[in-house]
Amino acid sequence: STMFLVGLSGGIASGKSTVVAVLRELGCAVIDADVIARQVVQPHSKAHQQILQHFGTEILLENGEIDREALGNIIFSQPEKRRLLNSITHPEILKEMLKQVLKYFVLGYRYVILDIPLLFETRGLTRFMKYTVLVYCDPPTQLARLMKRSGLGVAEAEARISSQLPLDEKREWATHVIDNSGDRESTRRQVLRLHARLEDSLHFLWARLAVGTAVAGLGGLVFLLLRHFIS
């Protein structure tokens, strides 16, 4: 068997960061789409220049970086602007994610977790995932956590939550669900069980051998990669 991809998602204030922290403690390879999204819009990047062309310089901070809050306020209330921003950033994000997937492939990881907040909203990426994982919590808990975390009123918090697909709907699409409605220890136990299940089959010796081959020389590494993809 070969390395496979696991899509991880959740909802606002559902506790996805808690689950990711446990996965990282376990030594899992996690690619954070949010981190990449910030990287690809740094000053002088292709996406940064395109965003300025369409949204203007008033969304810039003093250091030249994009003010994520100001840009977020624009796209939150204007769906057409949100689609425009996605058309600019998504291709750059996907390219960087692919680079990181290949890196972990060469290092011989059993699986790679793609932490994508809107995985189930976009749906396009789910076809590349062997498994999808949803970090879930019940609606009252989600609302209370968001209000406490962000200092929002009930109406504002409900508006933020309703801008995403309901967690109960995402739950029907996920192959695995981590229920984060309870305490942190309960969530941790669920993550440990999921990790054990994903690591269950370790018959991928050729991928591990790729690490040693990389030391021996780039030529040998390229040969193994080509052989894998052709087969």
Asked whether 128 and 94 are in contact (CB, 8 A), the reply is no
What single DSSP character describes residue 58?
G
Q: Please state the pTM of the whole predicted model.
A: 0.80
Closest CA to 32 of 129, 88, 101: 101
**Distance, CA of 148 to CA of 13 (rounded, Å):** 10
Task: Give residue for tokens 């796209």.
Answer: 75
- pLDDT for 163 equals 83
- pLDDT for 216 equals 37
- pLDDT for 77 equals 79
Asked whether 43 and 49 are in contact (CB, 8 A), the reply is no
**Distance, CA of 9 to CA of 116 (rounded, Å):** 5
- pLDDT for 187 equals 97
- pLDDT for 48 equals 97
Among 129-133, 178-182, 221-225, the least confident range: 221-225
| Residue 200's pLDDT band (cuts 50, 70, 90) | confident
Beta-carbon contacts of residue 63 (< 8 Å; ≥ 6 apart): 43
The mean pLDDT value of the chain amounts to 86
Task: Give residue for tokens 């508006």.
Answer: 159
Asked whether 221 and 103 are in contact (CB, 8 A), the reply is no
Share of the chain above pLDDT 90, in %: 76
List pLDDT tens digits, range 93-107: 999 999 999 999 999
Exposed e or buried b per residue across 129-140, where buried means at least 16 C-beta atoms within 10 angstroms of its C-beta: bebbbbbbbeee
Among 21-30, 67-76, 212-221, the least confident range: 212-221
Asked whether 43 and 51 are in contact (CB, 8 A), the reply is no
Q: Which residue has the higher pLDDT, 95 or 206?
A: 95
pLDDT at 123 over 80: no
pLDDT at 174 over 50: yes
**End-to-end CA, the chain:** 12
List pLDDT tens digits, range 45-84: 999 999 999 999 999 999 999 999 899 889 877 989 989 9
- CB-based burial label for 180 (10 Å; 0-12, 13-18, 19+): buried
Q: What is the β-pairing status of strands 131-136 and 4-9?
A: parallel
- pLDDT for 220 equals 45
pLDDT mean over 192-218:
57
pLDDT at 89 over 50: yes
